[in-house]
Structure 1
Amino acid sequence: MKHFKLYYTSDVHGYLLPTDYIQSGNQSLGMANAAYNFHKDGNTIIIDGGDMYQGSPMLQYLQQHQDIDAVTTAMNLAGYDYVTLGNHDFNYGYHALEKHLSQLNATVIAENVTDSNGETLYPAQIKTLADGTTVGLIGLVTDYINIWENPEHLAGIRIESPRIKAQKTVMYLRENADVVVGVYHGGYERDLVTGQQLSQTDENIAYQLTEQLDLDILLTGHQHGNVAPQVVNGVLTLQMPNQARMYAEIIGTKHDTEWVFNATTASVGHTARPDIVAALAPLNERVQRWLDQPITQLTSAIPLAQPLALAQFGNDILQWIAHVELSATQADIALVSLNNNPSELPANLTLRQILQNYPFDNTLVTKRVSGLALKTALEHTADYFVLESGKLTVNPSWLYPKVEHYNYDLAFGISYTIDVKQPVGQRITELSFDGQAVADSDLFTVAMNSYRAAGGGDYTAYRDAETIFSGDETIQDMLVSYFKAHNQLPETPKLQLKVIY
Structure 2
Amino acid sequence: MKHFKLYYTSDVHGYLWPTDYIQSGLQPQGLINVAANYQKDSNTLVIDGGDMYQGSPLLQYLKKYEDIDAVSDMMNMAGYDYVTLGNHDFNAGYDELKKHLANLNATVLAENVTDENGQTLYPAEIKTLADGTKVGLIGLVTDYINIWEKPEHLAGIKIESPLIKASQTIARLRQSADVVIGIYHGGYERDLDSGKITSMTSENIACQLTAELDLDILLTAHQHGQVPAQLINDTLTLQLPNQAKFYAQIDGELRDGKWLFTASTNSAGTISQPDMFKALQPLNDKVEAWLDQPIANLTSSVAVEEPLILAQYGNDILRWVAAVQMAATGAQITLQGLNNNPSSLPKQLTLRSILQNYPFDNTLVTKRISGADLRVGLEHTANYFVMEGQKLAVNPDWLKPKVEHYNYDLAFGIDYEIDVRRQVGHRITKLQYQGKDIQDTDYFSIAMNNYRAVGGGDYQTYANSEIIYTGDKAIQDMLVAYFEDHDQLPNTPQLLLKVLY
Map of 2:459 onto structure 1: 459
The equivalences for 1:343-362 within 5 A come to: 343-362=343-362
Secondary structure at the aligned position of 1:349 is classed as: strand
Map of 1:470 onto structure 2: 470
Map of 2:239 onto structure 1: 239
Tell me which moved more, 265-274 or 437-446. 265-274
Cα distance, 1:214 vs. partner? 0.1
Cα distance, 1:96 vs. partner? 0.4
Secondary structure at the aligned position of 2:97 is classed as: helix
Map of 1:394 onto structure 2: 394
CA shift digits 1:154-192 (9 cap, x unpaired): 000000000000000010111110000000000000122
1:275 and 2:275 aligned: yes
Secondary structure at the aligned position of 2:39 is classed as: coil
Residue identity opposite 1:444 in structure 2: F
Map of 1:51 onto structure 2: 51
Secondary structure at the aligned position of 1:499 is classed as: strand
Cα distance, 1:306 vs. partner? 1.1
Residue identity opposite 2:31 in structure 1: M
1:122 and 2:122 aligned: yes
Cα distance, 1:390 vs. partner? 1.0
Cα distance, 1:45 vs. partner? 0.4
Secondary structure at the aligned position of 2:117 is classed as: coil
Secondary structure at the aligned position of 1:429 is classed as: strand
* TM-score scaled by length of structure 2: 1.00
Map of 1:209 onto structure 2: 209
The equivalences for 1:396-475 within 5 A come to: 396-475=396-475
Which whole-Å CA distance do the structure 2 matches of 1:58 and 1:17 have between them? 9
Which whole-Å CA distance do the structure 2 matches of 1:194 and 1:483 have between them? 49
Which whole-Å CA distance do the structure 1 matches of 2:393 and 2:131 have between them? 54
Which whole-Å CA distance do the structure 1 matches of 2:394 and 2:350 have between them? 31
Map of 2:136 onto structure 1: 136
Which whole-Å CA distance do the structure 2 matches of 1:353 and 1:231 have between them? 42
Secondary structure at the aligned position of 1:302 is classed as: coil
Which whole-Å CA distance do the structure 1 matches of 2:339 and 2:112 have between them? 30
The equivalences for 1:90-101 within 5 A come to: 90-101=90-101
The equivalences for 1:54-453 within 5 A come to: 54-453=54-453
Q: Percent identity?
A: 67
Which whole-Å CA distance do the structure 2 matches of 1:433 and 1:348 have between them? 36
CA shift digits 1:405-457 (9 cap, x unpaired): 00000000000000000000000000000000000000000000000001000
Which whole-Å CA distance do the structure 2 matches of 1:297 and 1:385 have between them? 36
Secondary structure at the aligned position of 2:487 is classed as: coil
* TM-score scaled by length of structure 1: 1.00
Cα distance, 1:196 vs. partner? 1.1
Cα distance, 1:375 vs. partner? 0.3
Cα distance, 1:274 vs. partner? 1.0
Secondary structure at the aligned position of 1:305 is classed as: coil
Secondary structure at the aligned position of 1:303 is classed as: coil
CA shift digits 1:223-279 (9 cap, x unpaired): 000000000001000000000101100000000210000011111111111111111
Secondary structure at the aligned position of 1:202 is classed as: coil
Aligned length: 501
Which whole-Å CA distance do the structure 2 matches of 1:23 and 1:421 have between them? 38
1:38 and 2:38 aligned: yes
Cα distance, 1:478 vs. partner? 0.4
Secondary structure at the aligned position of 2:473 is classed as: strand
Map of 1:8 onto structure 2: 8
Residue identity opposite 1:383 in structure 2: N
Stretches of 4+ aligned residues off by more than 4 angstroms: none
Which whole-Å CA distance do the structure 1 matches of 2:272 and 2:389 have between them? 46
Which whole-Å CA distance do the structure 2 matches of 1:63 and 1:157 have between them? 24
Secondary structure at the aligned position of 2:483 is classed as: helix
Residue identity opposite 2:423 in structure 1: P
CA shift digits 1:328-386 (9 cap, x unpaired): 01100010010100100000000000000000011000000000000000000000000
Which whole-Å CA distance do the structure 2 matches of 1:288 and 1:111 have between them? 38
Which whole-Å CA distance do the structure 2 matches of 1:196 and 1:499 have between them? 28
Cα distance, 1:11 vs. partner? 0.1
Cα distance, 1:194 vs. partner? 2.5
Which whole-Å CA distance do the structure 2 matches of 1:196 and 1:297 have between them? 49
Which whole-Å CA distance do the structure 1 matches of 2:389 and 2:496 have between them? 27
Cα distance, 1:193 vs. partner? 3.0
Secondary structure at the aligned position of 2:211 is classed as: helix
Secondary structure at the aligned position of 2:72 is classed as: helix
Which whole-Å CA distance do the structure 2 matches of 1:18 and 1:285 have between them? 13
Cα distance, 1:389 vs. partner? 1.1
Which whole-Å CA distance do the structure 1 matches of 2:489 and 2:154 have between them? 38
Cα distance, 1:305 vs. partner? 1.1
